[in-house]
Chain A
Amino acid sequence: MDKPLTRNIKPDGSAASLAEYRAGGGYEGLKKVLAEFAPLEVQRQVKDSGLRGRGGAGFPTGMKWSFVPMGEDAPKTKYLVVNGDEMEPGAFKDRLLLEGDPHQLIEGVAIASYAIQANIAYVFLRGEYRLAADRLRRAIAEAEEHQLLGENILGSGFNLDLRLHTSAGRYICGEETALLNSLEGKRANPRAKPPFPQVSGLFGKPTIVNNVETLCNLPHILRNGVEWYKGLSRTGEPGTKIYGVSGRVERPGAWELPMGTTAREIIEEHAGGMRDGYRLKGYLPGGASTDFLLPEHLDIPMDYGSIAKAGSRLGTGTLILLDDRTCPVRMVLNLEQFFAQESCGWCTPCRDGLPWTVSLLEGLIAGRGRPEDLETLERLCGLLGPGNTFCALAPGAMEPLQSALKHFRADFERYLQPHSISGGVHA
């Protein structure tokens, strides 16, 4: 099984050096792109590959690029921005790539920048990833020394200045337009769309924001071709995916597997199954902002379309498991506390609705709940849902809640019974 994204990741956790990266074919994709393909041809190949953004939303990468103005009339300054602000609870896949193989990301950035003809790129990295920042900084310097970044890359005439920006911690910075505001030195509030960043983004110039894992796919697609890439998958959605598991399993971790691998295989084979004494009650398939799925969904392929059909989202592909001894209501409270705290406060439904959600759940757990509170929570799921807020933070926050109310209703109702407070763990 080919694992292009993680083939250089070493068990001891050290970073692949430039020499090691090159020994495995590293920078060959960039070399080929610069020597053989026009920028629009790179865009076409990425579009044909079917690569979808791995940051959570799953938007087709090639299509996103195609909205950037190209040609002689296009603005001279364009930007490529790497979204390395991995802060969604449950997600830890980009850390693996950033720390283990920083040159792979740099090569992906250079290819994407060439494809949209951007000469300046920024890596927007969350501030807590100190080790990743050190390694990336070193790798950027190494790449500059070897003419893989900077002026006249590999003698092609293409220039790219790559800069690392370490952020200062705030979940909303992962939202594309909030990230741009943050990079401009402002509060990270999301921007209204349109205009879309592809036309007017960073400092008002055309900008593409791509996730770390997304960019790491590019060297391999361009080097090995679209058909090879499609062949990596088990379903109609191409490529591999870095899936992760956290919760009460024997071997929590992250693994690169064919797109469309089932949750059962990921949990039982790769993560070693549930720990002794625990049973799986449900799981969030793609991080904190996705709907709960149940054990009956374990055999559904983990790809965008199949998970959507089952009523959730692939998101980041990192599963958070709910076991039978953890109270789903308390788990949801923890998630809503996170979203309430990390709301930027820009729009009223999110700013006021999330703390209200938290307070209803806290009241319920403290034994102060009223039957109508569950209906209010359900109503909030609609009021804070898609289309009613400025960005996707609040609708994302509602996904685990709405699905928990559906699948684990009895657990919520138990808190309405007298003398039912169980300390968070059901007997």
Chain B
Amino acid sequence: MILNPDEIQAIRQEAGHFPHPSAAAIEALNIAQQGHGWISDELLKEIADVLGMSPAELDSVATFYNLIYRRPVGKRVIHYCNSVSCWMLGAEDNRRHLSEKLGIGLGETTGDGEYTLLPIVCLGACDKAPVLMIGDETHFNVDPAKLDAILGDTGAP
């Protein structure tokens, strides 16, 4: 069993807010992902079991959403916005800089397991473009110099 009792209880509590437990699928995946970093096949089966869903049914949800990870990711995921306003104002320069600094391409994780680099669609801060999200925190008006300040030496190859 990978899910711990606290996680199972939290998932059951969320499921209690809906007429059908399966409606808490995303909440459950988020709870599990918070503790385990990503949703492995085994974890997915256990969550499906708690919610009374088939693993295939839950997998159809888990693979649909951008913020649910079905493959291992680093401790912190860098989501850089590649949508139109950010693209116009330097998102690609930032992505190149991140790739060089961290030594990883899109979808890859640094060797020390610290960072994963992924694109994301519009983060809803187009007035402060370019924007990116590292873990839970959103950073605005980002340029390579600002990225160096945010990341420091951490994760450098």
Contact = CB atoms under 8 A, between A and B. Distances in A.
Interface of A: 86-92, 94-95, 126-131, 163, 165-171, 182-188, 203, 244-248, 252-254, 288, 318, 320, 326, 331, 334-335, 337-338, 341-342, 344
B88 A331 contact: yes
B156 interface: no
Interface residues of B, number: 42
Contacts of B67: 127-128, 168-169
Interface string B144-155: 000000000000
B36 interface: no
B88 A247 contact: yes
A183 B19 CA distance: 11
Q: Is the interface of B mostly helix, strand, loop or mixed?
A: mixed
Contact of B83 (A183, A252, A334): A334
Contact of A89 (B23, B122, B138): B122
B66 interface: yes
Interface in B33-89: 51, 60-61, 64-68, 79, 82-85, 87-89
Contact of B61 (A169, A171, A185, A203): A185
A169 to B, nearest CB: 3
Contact of A334 (B30, B87, B123): B87
A338 B84 contact: yes
Given A128-B67, A165-B26, 16 more contacts: A87-B121, A90-B126, A166-B27, A168-B65, A169-B66, A170-B65, A185-B20, A185-B25, A186-B61, A187-B64, A203-B19, A246-B127, A253-B127, A320-B84, A320-B85, A334-B84
B17 to A, nearest CB: 6
A91 B127 CA distance: 9
B121 A89 contact: yes
A90 to B, nearest CB: 6
Contact of A169 (B65, B88, B138): B65
12 contacts: A86-B124, A90-B85, A90-B122, A92-B127, A130-B138, A167-B65, A168-B29, A187-B64, A244-B127, A246-B129, A254-B127, A320-B85
Contact of B124 (A129, A166, A167, A186): A129
Nearest to A133: B136
Contacts of B123: 128
Contacts of A182: 26
Given A130-B138, A165-B27, A169-B67, A187 B124 contact: no
